[in-house]
Each structure stands twice: as C-alpha cells, then as structure tokens.
Amino acid sequence: MMNGVVLIPLLMFLSGQGMVRASGIPEGHPRIETTRERLLQVRTWLEEKKEPFHSYWKSVGPEIQRARQLKPGPSMSTDALQFHGVAQEQGIACRLLAYAWWLEGDEEAGKQAVGLLDAWASVSPLPGTCLDPKVRYPNSGMDVARGMLPFIAACDLLKSHPAMTDVVEERIHGWFRALVPVVREGIRRWEENDDFGKQEFQNHHVSHVLGLVLLGVALDDKKLIRFAVDSPENPKDFKELIAGMILMPGEAPHGGLRGKPLHAGEIQDRYRTTSGAGLVYCHLSLTLMMYSADVLTRVTGEDYLNWKAPGGECLKLSATFYSDFFRTRNVHLHGDYYFRDEPMMRNVAPFMGIWEVALANWPDVPNLKAVVRKMDRKRVPRSWLCYYGLPLLTHGVENP
C-alpha cells in the first residue's frame, strides 16, 4: 500500500494490464521532465521500497491528496502576477496527479489531471493571453513562462492517458500556442526598453527562453525551439544567455565588483545581494537555465547541459560554485561578496532539489556529491524554487 493505493507490479505495467500498455506510449514521451525508462525504473524502486525513493514518494502523499480535492479554477486575471500564482498552484497539482498515474497506476488521478488542463484550455479568453500592459509591464512574459511550467510538464506526462484524446490535446495545444506571443512580447519589451535600467542579462531573460523552449517542445515546433536556442532574431537566446549570464574573472558584472573577487561561474543576478537576495536570484537563474538545457538535451540529442560559450562559460561552473553556499549556509565563502544574504539563507530547504538534477548531470563534481549527501533526501519541501516536480525521482542517483 502507498497513499492508499496498491502499487501495480511492473510486470503488469509492461504486459498492458496496468495503467497503460508500454507499446501505446508515443515514442520519446515523456521528454520534458524525465523519460519513460526512468519512470519505469522508479516504479521498480518503489515496489522494492528502495530508499530514499520510497520514503520520498510517501512524503508526497499529502500533496497528492490535496491535489485530488482541487477544483479547476482557470485564472482570468489580467494581472500577470495573479495569473502566475494560480497557474503554478493548479499546474503543480496537475503534475502531481500525472505522476500518481505513472507511478501508482492511478487512472483517476491521470483523468483528473487531463481534466484540469482541459478546463484551462476551454475558457475564453484563454488564460494568460489578455494581460493588462499597464500592470507590471516588464513582467508578463516572465510570469506566463514560469507560471505555465508545471502545466506543460504535466501535459507531456499525460500524452498517452486515455482521457488525452486528439480533440482534448488539440484544445490544450491551442491554448499553449496562444501563449507564445505573450512570451515573445516580453522579449520585445525588454529589448525596446534597454533592459529596464541596462539589466542586460538577468532572470527575466532566462524565463523567456525557458517558456519558449517548453512551448516549442510541447507543440513539437522546431522553428520555435530554434528561436529560443540560437537565432539572430532573438536578442537573448539560450546560447547568448550562457555567455552573458555566467561570469568569468576579468569581466565587468552588472552592479560592479564592490571590492570583491569575481569567480568563474558566478551569475549576473549576484548584484541582487544589495537587497539580501543575491544567492537566491543566482539560484533561480541557474535553475531556469539548467531546466532549459536539460529539456533541450533530451529532445534534440545535443548536449546543451555542457555547451560552452566562447569564453568558457558553462552551467557546470555555476552549479559547482553555488552548491557550496547551499551546502554550508555560509554566505561568507569565496570572498564574502554575498554577506548581505545571510537572513534569506537561514532556510535553504526549498532550494535544495535542484542539486539532485545537477549531480545527475555532472556526477564527477565533488561539490555536487557533497551537497546532495548533506540534504535530507527523503523530504520534499513544497516549493516552486526547484521547478522540477519530483527531482529525486526524475534525476536522483542511488548512492551519491
């Protein structure tokens, strides 16, 4: 028994007597947050009660129960931030229900998840498409991109569920397609407004790219993916962000050096330390870039996780550098630039899940092994700060 549901043996799953016939799963799906092969492996681990995966999944149980009680409530707000909050809340629930279908064979959970997506895609105007340009003008593209992440990941997980008929999928994809211009408008606004105070590279730009990557993958739109990754028409595409967001010694970061050394892998959002949030915002931008690269690597077959800009900038450098702060909670490391961040770093639990993903991608980095070993891997804090739904299950290694 797990969360009141009897786990279906893996053999039944493979023979088609469980939640879905393996032969009926479309080739290459899921592919946004994880893979079919990984989910089958996780099912086996859960049936064998392998730790820490079994206890981790049990800790998700209360969240899934809350998701079962959730009624569809599409956000019709013209305020981008309001949309962001409601979309994340309902999207996270939708994604959890999708995982319950995959990992427990819970057909009703999957059906409810499809219903949530379809409810949002069936109202008019489509949620997130009619935002007031006078309200939070710089933020709309970012809020839509980040708010939609769990919904898009859930849709990818649910592609082979019986309730995801061609008609339903077409309706959901119509909603996704209508959100593309909203994100692209965010790009235009930042470019035409001189990056709102010459913030040439920061988390808004990364959010735009992530949103377009996810929408492009969900819609199987190769042209949109190319625009997000490497296009002269996109002033801040993925490759330009790796080169511009990630810093190397000798560069001039936004906000200046403040008399402190600059280390390889630091991120432009570091200047937010003036308000005590430098590490938090660097963690955010790193997470968004890693999520984008992880999806792109799976979908395209090209290794964007290890892509290096001409100056040597790469995600591995940033993950290595920032993991030390979250492992030790010591903001005075590496030259004491982030000393103002101490109050915000007293509770690092919501930020820890991303290191499961980082270690899976770069298993040879001692810093990443150290931070994962330090974590309480059996506990899942409910937070969007990792962006991945269940990072231990989708990426976590057995023995770090």
DSSP 283-299: HHHHHHHHHHHHHHHHH
User: 286-332, pLDDT tens digit by residue?
Assistant: 999 999 999 999 999 999 999 999 999 999 999 999 999 999 999 99
- SS3 for 154? helix
Residue 117 has pLDDT above 50, yes or no: yes
pLDDT at 366: 97
pLDDT in tens, 30-81: 999 999 999 999 999 999 999 999 999 999 999 999 999 999 999 999 999 9
Q: Would you list the domain boundaries of the chain? A: 1-192
Note the pLDDT of residue 26.
54
Q: What is the pLDDT of residue 41?
A: 97
pLDDT above 80: residue 7: no
Name residues whose C-beta falls within 8 Å of residue 288's C-beta, 6 or more positions apart in sequence: 146, 203, 206, 207, 209, 210, 387
Q: Which among 111, 117, 121 has a CA at the least distance from the CA of 162?
A: 111
**Six token digits for residue 308:** 């290096």
Q: How far apart are CA 260 and CA 96, in angstroms?
A: 43
Mean of all residue pLDDT scores within the chain: 91
Please check whether residue 145 is in contact with residue 136, taking contact to mean a CB–CB distance below 8 angstroms: no
Q: Is the pLDDT of residue 3 over 80?
A: no
User: What mean pLDDT comes out for the span 233-252?
Assistant: 97
Share of the chain above pLDDT 90, in %: 86
Q: 4 pLDDT band (50/70/90 cuts)?
A: very low
